[in-house]
Structure 1
C-alpha cells in the first residue's frame, strides 16, 4: 500500500469537519466515546428516539474548543436519519453575528433553516402569519434605514421550483432580512426593535405554521418526527449586553424558557463558560436538563503517570486512518513506517496532543507542511517547540501560578478559571467512570518539567 500524499494532506486539514453522511468522511471517523467517559451522542439520541419519540425534547451540548463537537453532532444527525427522523442541522454562525445575538435572531435562524429543509423535501406549509411579520419588518427597514433594499421574495423570483410560481418562500424571506441584519448593526437594531416584543408570536408561528404541520406530514410519509440541531451557538461571545449581563447567560438563562418552547426535538450547542458559572443551576432549571460536556480523549489516567492504552490506540488509528483510510485498522499498524520514522514518534504526537483532536491535527498538519513523510522525530519536536513558544507568550505570571495549582489539584473552579485556563487551551478536561478532572496541556507540561515556567 502506497501513501497518497495529496490525499493524506487534505484529510489531515484541521479545519475540516467530518460529515458521517459522506462515505469518504466515514473512513476517517474514530469513535472515542469509550475514552471520553460516556457516550454523549448515544444519550442524546436515546432521549429523542426512545424516551420521548412523540414528545418535544430540548437538550444542551457543549465542549472544549476543537474537541470534535460538530463531528459528533453530524454523527447524531446521521444516526437519527437512519432511524427515520427528519433532521435539520445547521451552523448558526452562518446566520448570526456571534458578537451580538438576541433571541429573535436565533428563532429567525431556526425558522429559516427548518423552512428551507421542508421546501427541499417538498413539504407544504403555509406560514401566512410569518409572511405578515416579515412584511412588517421589511417596511420598517426600508423606511428607517437609508439604502436598505430588502424584499420578501416569492419562490418564482429566484427560479426555485419547490413551490408553485408566486407562492411565498419563508426561507428566502427570512434570508433576505437576516443577511442585511448580520452585516449591519443599524439594521440589526431596528429589526430587533420590531421583533423582540413579538417573540412569543414568533414562537407560536414557528410551532403552528412550521413545526406542527411538518411533523404531521412527515409522519404521513412514515417518518418518526422532526429534529433541529443548532450548532456553533457555543461560539457566542462572552460579552456584556446593554443590561449588564453576559451574553451567554442572557440568552440561555434569562431567555432560556423561550428557546425551550419549540414543539419538536431540539439540540442547542451552548458556550462552555455556562458550565463553570454560577448560572449553571438556573440553566438546568430553565431547560430541565444538565448540559452534556464533550471532554478530551484520555491519553493518561487520572493519576497523571499511567498511559491510557485504549485512548492511545484510538488516536494512533485517527492518524493512520487519514493516511490509509481503506486499510483495516489492524493492518494500518504495519504501515507506520510509511508515515513516521518510528512508532515512538507517532506515540509522541498522540501524547503531546493531550487527546485534543484538533490539536493533534494541527501538529500533524504542521509536520506535513515542513517535509514529506516519513515524519521524523526532529521535525515533530520542532513543531512542538514552536507551538509551545506560541502558547507561552500569552501566559502571564499569575496564570503560571494558576497552572501550577491545576498541576497539583487537577481542578478548575469558577468562571474565571474557565476564561483563563480552558478557553485559552492551557488546560484540558478529562472524564472517566469516576467523574472529571483537569490537567495541563501536555505541550505546556513539558515547560513545567523544565522549571515550572517561572523563568518567564
Structure 2
C-alpha cells in the first residue's frame, strides 16, 4: 500500500478525535446496544424541564462520550422543524484548566463562563474584547481564593456565584435563547500516582456541589468514572457497545456488526484485505472483541495494524498486534487487584468486601480494566486482556467456585449483599 494511502487511513483512525454527525465516519448505534439512546435522553431531560438542569455524565474511557456530546450539540442546533429554541455551547475544560491537578471551583466556573461569553459574542457578531465577563469577576476569584482557601468562607463564595449568574444571564440576553453549556474533558481529570486520590476527592467535592451552584443555564458535565464509587448523586454511566452477553462466552452479534460498520467507515473492505489478508474479516471481528466495545480501543488496534512493517499481516504479526494492545494493561494491574477483578468477572457486579477497596475500584474504572454494559440490566466485566493472564485465570477459577457457594448460601438464608449498580436515568437538578 502506498505511503500516502497509509497516512490517510492513519489520520482517519485517530482515537483522540471526536467527530460530529455530519462526518462521514460517524456511526449511529442502535439504542439496544447501550440499553438506551443516552444522548436523546439528555436532550429530553433538558427540553422537558421548566428549570435549569445539571447533568452529570460519565462512562468508561473510550466509550464515545465526546462524540455523543457533539451529536447533542447538533440536536440542539437542529431543533424542531429546523427551529432551535436553545443555544448550545460546547467547551473543552482542557482549554482553561489543568486536568492533572485538583479542581478549584472558582477557577473552573470562571473558565466556563469566560469561554461561554466568547462563544456568545462570536454568535452575535461582537468582538472578544466585549466579553460580558467583567474584570471584577477575575478579581473576585482571586479574592475568594485568598480569603476562602482552607477557611470555607461560604458567604464570599456565594457572592462570587452571584457574579457568575449575572454574567450568564447577560449571555442569554445577548442570544435571546436559553443556554445549554456542555463541559467536556472533565472526565479525564486524573492526578499522578502520588496525587491521584486528592485529585479524585476534589472532583467529588466539585460535582457534589455543582447542582447547588444554581446556575441559570442548563449544564452538562462529563465526570470521572472513578466517582461512581463515591458519594456523588445523579451520575449516569454511558455503557460500552455491547459486544458480549452476560455470563456467556458467545459474542453479541448486533454489537459486533455495529462496530464492524465503524471500521468500514474508516477503512474500506478492499483496504482491509490489503492490510490483513484473506482472513481480514475474521481478524477484524476478533479485534472488535479485544476492544471490549470501546470505539477508541478499536481505533487504537487499527492504528497498530497501520504501523506494521509489511502487509498483509502474517499470523505472527497479528499475534504481535494483540500483544501490543494487551500488554499496555498489564502494568496497571496489582496482584491485590486480581481477587476483586475475578469477583466482578464472576458476578457482573461491583461487589466489595471492604470499604478500603473503593479507591481500588475507582482506579480500575479509570484505567479501563473494567467495562460496563447494559441491555435490560446492567453489568460489569473485566477487560479482555485480563483473561489472557495466567494468574488471573487461576484466581478467576477459584472465584467462580466461591461465587457458586455464596449463591447457595444466599438461597438458603434469603439474603443478598450490597452491590453497586449505575443509575439508569439522568438527573435534573434545578
TM-score calculated relative to the size of structure 1: 0.73
Q: Does 1:302 align with 2:304?
A: no
Which of the numbers 104, 114, 117 marks the counterpart of 1:115?
117
Q: Which residue of 1 aligns with 2:25?
A: 27
Superposed CA RMSD: 3.3
Give the C-alpha shift of residue 234 in structure 1. 1.8
Q: Does 1:40 align with 2:38?
A: yes
- Structure 1, unaligned stretches of length 5 or more? 141-187, 285-289, 325-331
The alignment partner of 1:215 has SS state of helix
Q: 1:369 to 1:335 in 2, by over 3 A?
A: closer
Q: 1:204 to 1:384 in 2, by over 3 A?
A: same
**RCO comparison, higher one (Cα < 8 Å, 6+):** 2
Q: How many residues align?
A: 374
Which of the numbers 420, 425, 430 marks the counterpart of 2:373?
430
Which of the numbers 293, 300, 304 marks the counterpart of 1:355?
293
Superposed, which structure 2 residues align to 1:46-445 within 5 Å? Answer: 46-49=44-47, 51-52=48-49, 54-83=50-79, 84=84, 85-98=86-99, 99-122=101-124, 130-135=134-139, 190=146, 198-208=156-166, 210-219=167-176, 223=177, 225-237=178-190, 246-253=201-208, 255-259=209-213, 261-277=214-230, 279=231, 283-284=232-233, 290-324=234-268, 336-341=272-277, 342=279, 343-371=281-309, 374-413=312-351, 415-433=358-376, 435-445=377-387
Give the C-alpha shift of residue 249 in structure 1. 2.1
- Structure 2, unaligned stretches of length 5 or more? 353-357, 397-430
Contact 1:62–1:293 (Cα < 8 Å) also in 2: yes
The alignment partner of 2:220 has SS state of strand
